[in-house]
Structure 1
Amino acid sequence: MARVLIYGGTGGIGLATARALRARDVALHLVARDAAGLERAASDLGETTVTAGDVTDPSLFALATAAAGEALAGLVFAVGSITLKPIGRLSAQEIEADFRLNALGAFLAVQAAAPALKAGAGESTSGIVLFSTVAAAQGFSAHVSVAMAKGAVEGLALSLAAELSPSVRVNVIAPSLTRTNLARPLTANETVANGIAGMHAVPRLGTPEDAGALAAFLVSDDAGWITGQVIGVDGGRSSVRTKG
């Protein structure tokens, strides 16, 4: 059975994607830094193999792809960062770290997996899902580093959608603020969280399941005519204003 390879498989959105795919009876290969978390996830999910490693290590991608199998049904790169600082407080090292984690990591993941994704397409297609952020297109203050890195992910995805067609589809999910461990510094204070939630047409913060359900759909054959898209899972934040 061809597997879907998920980077960030123990994180909030990555694990929610894994659960949504297992509900579709899809076999998985999860990659994350948390070896113990990977083993727990594999035990809970079933039909799941794992590779422990850090996506900032370039050697990880060949190892993970080989362990996932010669044919892949899909690839999900659910890895991200939230570096929120005004430009005067940002260092070149922080910018580089965000780019390496988000954009270079996504590139290396796809580069390593492309032959297996083409092999797994069969008579249909395989699917790649990368993650951006609503901030890449909206221009939020203090989001320079993450918006730059995720903007590069969107450019990467559009180029790959052309290059890897017709056998491999490539799409991007751009969430707004979602209740994950990564976002906890912003969501732990309920007054702050409620204020941000109120900026959305659907006035709540996202959940990992919101993005995970869409990622599982985009990987599947149900999305067989969808490629080259950046799709907001953002409560309307990217396009809808209810006040002013």
Structure 2
Amino acid sequence: MENIVVIGGSRGIGKAIVLQQLEKRQVYSMSRSISEISHPNLIQYSADILQDALPEIEKIDALIYCPGSINLKPISSLHIDDFRNDFEINVMGAVKVIQHFLPALKKGTNPSIVLFSTVAVKLGMPFHASIAAAKGAVEGLVKSLGAELAPAIRINAIAPTITETPLSASILRNDRMKENMIERHPLKNYLKPEEVAQMADYLISKAAGAISGQIFQMDYGLVSFKI
């Protein structure tokens, strides 16, 4: 059975990925809180990825780093610490995890890594300066490591639009705001975590063996279309 490590697997997109993978892979889920999920194929670790030591795993076939942030403020209200914190969560956490698990990934079967960006890197949005800067660095990391780790390990990123998770609860906090968000997207919807989990599942599969160093927009047309 393949081994998959999901960082941030207790909530949102990470939780959806864990639930999707449990029937076919051994899942190691690491996050600050332990989820209520129980399954013979699930091993959970409680850890602050930025502060705590990471466990040793002999062989890893896929690594998915899900932690992120939504820190939406005008540039005049953002402090340097806001930028620093977003960079730590989105970039340095990913770097730490990749460095730690790289030897185990090299022992895996067709190993791959999936990180997360945001549509705000490609589409300029007000109040997204801090998170767009951090996720822009994630995209640069994907491109660089895609070249460096080829052909042994593939790495790609998913760049979702707004997704219905606890992280976005304040943005989708009532029916009117949800309807406005739907209307903003040309394909008249926004993402559910299960949709993003399906893309992650594809990217770590053998079917995606030709794909590395790519950023996949899951945007319901927001970035690509003007209708």
TM-score by length of 2: 0.96
Extract structure 1 runs of 4+ deviating beyond 4 A. none
Q: Which moved more, 1:173-182 or 1:211-220?
A: 211-220
- Contact map agreement 2:22 2:42 (CA 8 A) in 1: no
Figure out how many residues of one structure are paired with residues of the other and give that number: 227
- Contact map agreement 1:4 1:28 (CA 8 A) in 2: yes
Structure 2: unaligned runs, 5 residues or longer:
none
Give 3-state SS (helix, strand or coil) of 1:28's partner.
Answer: strand
Matches within 5 A, 1:16-35: 16-23=16-23, 25-35=24-34
Distance 2:80 2:113 in 1: 30
Structure 1: unaligned runs, 5 residues or longer:
none
Residue in 1 that maps onto 2:136:
151
Distance 2:190 2:116 in 1: 17
- Residues 146-171 of structure 1, C-alpha deviation per residue, up to 9 Å, x if partnerless? 10111111101111111111111000
2:18 counterpart letter in structure 1: A
Identity of aligned residues (%): 36
Q: CA deviation at 1:56?
A: 2.2
The partner residue of 1:206 within 177, 185, 191 is 191
Is 1:7–2:25 an aligned residue pair? no
Residue in 2 that maps onto 1:216:
201
Q: CA deviation at 1:224?
A: 1.1
The partner residue of 1:171 within 147, 156, 180 is 156
- Residues 113-140 of structure 1, C-alpha deviation per residue, up to 9 Å, x if partnerless? 111111113xxx2110000100011110
- Residues 47-105 of structure 1, C-alpha deviation per residue, up to 9 Å, x if partnerless? 11121111221x43xx23x0xx2110100001110000010000011110000000111
Distance 2:102 2:9 in 1: 19
Q: CA deviation at 1:172?
A: 0.3
Give 3-state SS (helix, strand or coil) of 2:112's partner.
Answer: strand
- Contact map agreement 1:16 1:213 (CA 8 A) in 2: no
2:108 counterpart letter in structure 1: G
1:30 counterpart letter in structure 2: S
- Contact map agreement 1:129 1:215 (CA 8 A) in 2: yes
Matches within 5 A, 1:1-244: 1-23=1-23, 25-35=24-34, 37=35, 40-41=36-37, 43=38, 45-57=39-51, 59-60=52-53, 63-64=54-55, 66=56, 69-121=57-109, 125-242=110-227
Distance 1:216 1:47 in 2: 16
1:92 counterpart letter in structure 2: I
Distance 2:212 2:40 in 1: 29
1:27 counterpart letter in structure 2: Q
Give 3-state SS (helix, strand or coil) of 1:170's partner.
Answer: strand
